[in-house]
Amino acid sequence: MSIVVTGATGHLGRHVVEQLLEKVPAGQITAVVRDEARGAGFAARGVRIAVADYNRPETFDGLFAAGDKVLLVSGNEFDKGRVQQHRTVIDAAKAAGVALLAYTSAPASLRAALADDHRGTEEILLASGLPYTLLRNGWYHENYTENLAPVLEHHAVVSSAGEGRVSSASRADYAAAAVAVLTGEGHENKAYELGGDEAWSFAEYAAELSAQTGSEIAYNAVPGEVMKGILTGAGMPEPFAEILVGVDASIAKGELVVTTGDLSRLAGRPTTPLADAIRAALKN
């Protein structure tokens, strides 16, 4: 039996593999990567590397074995038919008879277009008859803290989310929940609504940035069309800009506030405060 993590060198998958290495022998972990070279660090630590691509179903032939536990990390290629990509993994897992397939989905409350692929994947997974766990991940701190340069340059947080609040958490927090499911028992056929312990507003985010930098950072709330223009003007492809503006609209409606406490319960600790994520980002 192996614990198999797809997208293992991606932003979330890397955290999952790192945390698995703290819990189980490296030989029990399979990291699925598209580029074998990027998995070299894990291979050197004894992790099995499997090369496969969501866009090439044949690369998943024979990858899984009966009894495996699989984490399907959702793809990030929004223009390549993510539901079909995910179906490739689900079909291969079903053919092998895996013991569990966990999928990183989106909160049930999220109605933005971003969630459509997740809903479609969930339908396929449930119809497959595989034992499943739905890890409905909320928003990540890193969506805001990974690229602070424009915010600091212009002394402004700009969003079309109005006064909406976000229950975000760090990627490491969500990875901890996934690891708990992959290494624990009793998670079959369950859905977990995952989000940070404390929801925050963009005005609070700007205030925290001001406090930590010693420079006044304003919050500029703008209409969705203006936000779209800002994003495309900065070079973002229009379809992706529309997705992000749609998420802002959902935030304004409260769709990314998660109050279940599932994430901290699975992780076995409180989730990372946004202030800590900002502090870490400012040091880099």
- Interval 135-182: pLDDT, tens: 999 999 999 999 899 999 999 999 999 999 999 999 999 999 999 999
Contact 227, 245 (CB under 8 A): yes
The arithmetic mean of pLDDT across residues 258-267, rounded, is: 98
| 84 located within any domain | yes
Residue 1 has pLDDT above 90, yes or no: no
| 101 located within any domain | yes
The torsion angles phi and psi of 220, rounded to 5 degrees, stand at: -105, 105
* CA distance linking residue 4 with residue 186, whole number of Å: 18
Q: How many domains does the chain have?
A: 1
Q: What CATH number corresponds to the domain at position 42?
A: 3.40.50.720
The arithmetic mean of pLDDT across residues 253-276, rounded, is: 98
Arithmetic mean of pLDDT over the chain: 97
* CA distance linking residue 50 with residue 228, whole number of Å: 39
Q: Tell me which amino acid residue 237 is.
A: P
Burial class (CB in 10 A: 0-12, 13-18, 19+), 196: buried
Q: What is the pLDDT of residues 52-64, one digit of tens each?
A: 999 999 999 999 9
The torsion angles phi and psi of 267, rounded to 5 degrees, stand at: -70, -25
Task: Find, among 5, 38, 43, the residue nearest to 27 by Cα.
Answer: 43
Contact 194, 262 (CB under 8 A): yes
Residue 78 has pLDDT above 90, yes or no: no
Report the pLDDT value the prediction gives residue 81, as an integer from 0 to 100.
Answer: 87
Dig out the tokens for 84 from the structure: 């079909």
| 104 located within any domain | yes
Q: How confident is the model at residue 284 (pLDDT cuts 50, 70, 90)?
A: confident
* CA distance linking residue 135 with residue 69, whole number of Å: 14
* CA distance linking residue 32 with residue 63, whole number of Å: 9
| 198 located within any domain | no
Q: What is the pLDDT of residues 188-225, one digit of tens each?
A: 999 999 999 999 999 999 999 999 999 999 999 999 99
**Domain span at 179:** 3-137+171-193+259-268
| 26 located within any domain | yes
Residue 80 has pLDDT above 80, yes or no: no
| 51 located within any domain | yes
Q: How confident is the model at residue 88 (pLDDT cuts 50, 70, 90)?
A: very high
Report the pLDDT value the prediction gives residue 266, as an integer from 0 to 100.
Answer: 98
